[in-house]
Structure 1
Amino acid sequence: MNILIGLIPALCWGLYPIFLTKMGGNYFQQLFGTSAGIFICASIVQVCFKYQISVNDFMLYFTSGLFWSIGQTGEVWCFKEAGVSKIMPVTTAFQTIGNSLIGGWLFSEWVGISDNLLGLVALIIILLGVFVSDGLVKIERKDIMIYLILLVTTIGFWGYSGFPHYCHTSGLAGFFPQSLGMLVGSSVIYFVGHNKIKGSDPFGIKNIISGIVFGGAASTYLLSLSLNGLVNAFALSQLNVVIATMVATVILKEKPKNQIISTLTGLVILIFGVFLMVSI
């Protein structure tokens, strides 16, 4: 049962980019709708369980949510520009490598030369998986800016994962303030993008469904952390890259059929590298 719960985030996060694509709208509307859906999920959880949290931890989780809005803006924009199947392996690699290096070096989770060497080997394997699955060896000049923007905005995801490390409370207790930060950050970005808050935005409203899917993943991931531990919970959740990439390849037809084998091979290498990285 614990493993099944751990697979729910992978399923929801894997389907989330597909929901974004199907719901439509520009990336401002997708971002705002997603954050609103997450906030609805978090509010329901908070009302049901009435979690208590200190002011300091509230602000840290809130800041984590603000950083998420930065990372999510870049990711959603890149989905629109290059496609889900092309971006998912790359964003997974950026997030895994960044979070692991921050945890290993900043929070001293890697001890000794062996841990650091194993981390670097895992990093190389992850990058190899991206190259094989995404064909980055044939990267075009027009794609360079897309990947640079993705890399820079991924700093937001690193902050999203990093700030909760400083909190004394964990799990679902931080879900509500974190979602509030997501909503505030996304609202500011939405306002800047549209220069006004629309009274009725059908695409923004439709993407609340995408946010509820994301919120389901976020809440069950926090539950999985307590049931399966950090390493297993994170590793299981990263299977989302397989779901998202293959669904986008087969259903959205973002890649020709003759690339499916290389995509699958690259994803297997990538997931192996992720498992190796988080097992240190």
Structure 2
Amino acid sequence: MQGVLFALVPIFAWGSIGLVANILGGDANQQTLGMTLGAFVVALIVSLFRMPTLTWQIFLIGFIGGLFWVIGQFGQFNSMKYMGVSVASPLSAGSQLVFGVLLGVFAFHEWTKQIQFIIGFIAMAVLVVGFYFSAKRDPENAVVKEGHNYTKGLIALTYSTLGYVLYVILFNNLAVLWFNVHFDTLTIILPMSVGMIFGALVMGRFKIKMEKYVYRNIIDGVMFGVGNIFMLMAASTAGNAIAFSFAQLGVIISTIGGILFLGEKKTKKELVYVGIGSVLFVTGAILLAIAKSKG
């Protein structure tokens, strides 16, 4: 029960990031930099209490992982700008799951049993259908939403997914296979946060306006950092499958929040589409967790 309670924190912390960032304002560069600063604060506090042993290999891997993460987050903020939070959030999370799993399965042989392949591919089929409904628009709705551009949004989602998947694969697979480096989440978060800040500055070409929006979005980074810690605690007490499944439920918060609090108007048909897409996404994520647990 304790592990389940821990897993509830990432649901709300991570699920609210896109929503909160849009409420706080700023462009994608300012939101990303502010978020990285907040993540650094959390990582620094944790490191001061935990005093982890940092080798140069761990620092380098964490730093590079932070760079990949920034590409993912910057793209996600842009996709939300062009597509809306209620559309971009499930598409982003789902695409990370599908491509991350495919790479893990075929490149790193993470599935070894027949039951894993059966459940896993059913899960991905469910996710793909969920993608379709999440992005589906009502043909009778002729209103073009100001600032929305689905082509640019999909481009942003593409490099966002690439960045996130590379970040996860580096930490979960390549660090051990290529560099024989082992670490836990609380050890890697400090060097990762340093890489995140540097990456955010690079993405903004070192010309990011240090306005109030940057400092406001530090809140997002704190939410990300706290969610990370509780995700680790949930995994250690309830298992990775439970922690992973629950974390994916955050997409429901971002989807509903985008509609209720950001004024993302939907027709009745589009509300049904989004609802179906969200349910399918969560179902697919849970099935993937089950497939992983069968290993």
1:175 matches 2:182: no
1:52 matches 2:62: no
Distance in 2 separating the partners of 1:136 and 1:239: 23
Larger displacement relative to structure 2 (73-82 or 251-260):
251-260
CA shift at 1:55, angstroms? 2.2
Instruction: Kindly report which structure 2 residues correspond to 1:19-168, keeping only aligned pairs within 5 A, or say none.
Output: 19-135=20-136, 142-165=149-172, 166=175, 167-168=181-182
CA 77–59 in structure 1, closer or farther in 2 if over 3 Å, else same: same
CA 26–142 in structure 1, closer or farther in 2 if over 3 Å, else same: closer
Map of 1:245 onto structure 2: 255
Distance in 1 separating the partners of 2:106 and 2:238: 24
Distance in 1 separating the partners of 2:65 and 2:99: 15
Larger displacement relative to structure 2 (59-68 or 104-113):
104-113
Instruction: Kindly report which structure 2 residues correspond to 1:219-234, keeping only aligned pairs within 5 A, or say none.
Output: 219-234=229-244
Match of residue 272, structure 1, among 247, 272, 283: 283
The question of whether the paired residues in 2 share the 8 Å contact of 1:42 and 1:215 is answered with yes
Any idea what the Cα deviations from partners look like across 1:42-88, whole Å, max 9, x if unmatched?
11110111111332222212211110001111111111111100101
Opposite residue 151 of structure 2, the aligned amino acid is: I
CA shift at 1:207, angstroms? 1.1
The alignment partner of 2:26 has SS state of coil
TM-score w.r.t. the length of structure 2 is: 0.86
Larger displacement relative to structure 2 (100-109 or 3-12):
100-109
Alignment size in residue pairs: 275
Opposite residue 46 of structure 1, the aligned amino acid is: S
The alignment partner of 2:16 has SS state of helix
CA shift at 1:26, angstroms? 0.8
CA shift at 1:137, angstroms? 8.9
CA shift at 1:218, angstroms? 2.0
CA shift at 1:197, angstroms? 5.4
The alignment partner of 1:279 has SS state of helix
CA shift at 1:18, angstroms? 1.2
Distance in 2 separating the partners of 1:149 and 1:226: 34
CA 189–152 in structure 1, closer or farther in 2 if over 3 Å, else same: closer
The question of whether the paired residues in 1 share the 8 Å contact of 2:231 and 2:243 is answered with yes
Match of residue 225, structure 2, among 215, 222, 235: 215
Distance in 1 separating the partners of 2:6 and 2:116: 29
CA 173–137 in structure 1, closer or farther in 2 if over 3 Å, else same: farther
- Identical positions, percent: 28
CA 180–9 in structure 1, closer or farther in 2 if over 3 Å, else same: same
The question of whether the paired residues in 2 share the 8 Å contact of 1:249 and 1:260 is answered with no
Any idea what the Cα deviations from partners look like across 1:171-225, whole Å, max 9, x if unmatched?
21111111111111112112x1xx5354x42111111122212222122222222
Any idea what the Cα deviations from partners look like across 1:91-148, whole Å, max 9, x if unmatched?
011111122122222221111454334322211100111222331696x995234213
Match of residue 236, structure 1, among 246, 262, 271: 246
Opposite residue 171 of structure 1, the aligned amino acid is: T
The question of whether the paired residues in 2 share the 8 Å contact of 1:172 and 1:223 is answered with no
Please give the root-mean-square deviation of Cα atoms over the aligned residues, in Å: 2.1
Distance in 1 separating the partners of 2:234 and 2:168: 15
The alignment partner of 1:88 has SS state of helix
The alignment partner of 2:126 has SS state of helix
TM-score w.r.t. the length of structure 1 is: 0.91
Larger displacement relative to structure 2 (128-137 or 68-77):
128-137
CA shift at 1:265, angstroms? 2.3
The question of whether the paired residues in 2 share the 8 Å contact of 1:175 and 1:219 is answered with no
Distance in 1 separating the partners of 2:53 and 2:286: 34
CA shift at 1:168, angstroms? 0.8
CA shift at 1:32, angstroms? 0.5
Larger displacement relative to structure 2 (25-34 or 244-253):
244-253
**Larger % of helix: which?**
1
What residue ranges of structure 1 are gaps of 5+ in the alignment? none
